[in-house]
Amino acid sequence: MPIEIQVVADADALAREAALVVTGVVAERPDAVVLAATGNTPIGCYAELARLRATGSLDTSRMRVAQLDEYVGLAADDARSLYGWMDRALLAPLGIGSERVVRMPVEGNDPQAAARAYDAAIEAIGGIDLAILGLGPNGHLGFNEPPASADAPTRVISLAPETLASNARYWGDGTVPERAITAGMSVILSARRVMLLVSGTPKAAILDRMLRSAPDAALPASHLRGHPDTILIADRDARPAGSLEA
């Protein structure tokens, strides 16, 4: 199946359309498992979901969330962790308690074992119904830095220089941790539905490359072209050509 592409006017429209996809999935399956990206791109979608919940259009009382990625070496309660970010942007506004979250472990001295435990936990809850993803500046998904094959498991990785540079904006004066743990490409591609959100001029070139590339480890997001049910929602700044063709 080719990727379904929806080009919308701007970031606000992207947030609304993306939230509609999520509400559709949760309406169909109230205890849906949603793999949720952090980063700037999905913030508007998460805020819209909170608004829909507040107005009674979305019931999140059974919805479950899985964390997509996390820095290694932070304390579990470090506010700069991606879990902290996700808690503020998504879990708290949607009233999703930690008992309904598959958290990416960061502590402990065996992160590779923790990665395997995460994959086992995802399998144990029946897999992922919807993966909400952003697009990294080098084509990464989660922290699947290139090269990443389609069958890459959840694992510890060293962040690419461009990712460290891009994520420095979230760290103020602090140094971005150099290692992270990411849901593997195999986990992402096993999601029953994938929604990739891309916004803004800085993402236009990498999105264009992704849509022209055959599935290729050098551009991890291109693996979505082999996924059976992926929707891409991009705003005009990210997809100026506005082509409906993948």
Residue of 119, 138, 178, 208 marked catalytic? 138
Contact between residue 118 and residue 105 where contact means Cβ atoms under 8 Å apart: yes
Residue 235, sorted as left (phi over 0), alpha (psi -120 to 50) or beta, turns out to be beta
97 or 169, CB closer to ligand GLP? 169
In the annotation, is 167 catalytic?
no
Separation CA 90–CA 18 (nearest Å):
14
Strand locations in 47-152 (E): 64-67, 69-71, 101-102, 130-134
Which residue is at the shortest CB distance from ligand GLP? 134
| H-helix or E-strand spanning residue 50 | helix 43-54
Could you tell me the smallest distance in angstroms from the CB atom of residue 152 to ligand GLP? 15
Contact between residue 11 and residue 200 where contact means Cβ atoms under 8 Å apart: yes
Could you tell me the smallest distance in angstroms from the CB atom of residue 55 to ligand GLP? 26
Contact footprint for ligand GLP (CB under 6 A) = 37-41, 68-69, 133-134, 136, 142-143, 163, 167
Could you tell me the smallest distance in angstroms from the CB atom of residue 6 to ligand GLP? 17
Only one residue has tokens 């998460």, namely 46
Residue 194 token pair: 């994938």
23 or 38, CB closer to ligand GLP? 38
- Three-state DSSP at 180 gives strand
Count of residues in the chain: 246
59 or 162, CB closer to ligand GLP? 162
Residue of 69, 129, 216, 235 marked catalytic? 69
Could you tell me the smallest distance in angstroms from the CB atom of residue 192 to ligand GLP? 19
Could you tell me the smallest distance in angstroms from the CB atom of residue 27 to ligand GLP? 25
In the annotation, is 145 catalytic?
yes
Could you tell me the smallest distance in angstroms from the CB atom of residue 175 to ligand GLP? 15
Residue of 70, 87, 129, 140 marked catalytic? 140
In the annotation, is 109 catalytic?
no
In the annotation, is 223 catalytic?
no
Residue of 17, 48, 129, 145 marked catalytic? 145
- DSSP one-letter string for 7-48: EESSHHHHHHHHHHHHHHHHHH-TT-EEEE--SSTTHHHHHH
13 or 29, CB closer to ligand GLP? 13
- Three-state DSSP at 193 gives strand
38 or 230, CB closer to ligand GLP? 38
Separation CA 197–CA 148 (nearest Å):
20
70 or 129, CB closer to ligand GLP? 70
Q: Which residues are catalytic?
A: 69, 138, 140, 145
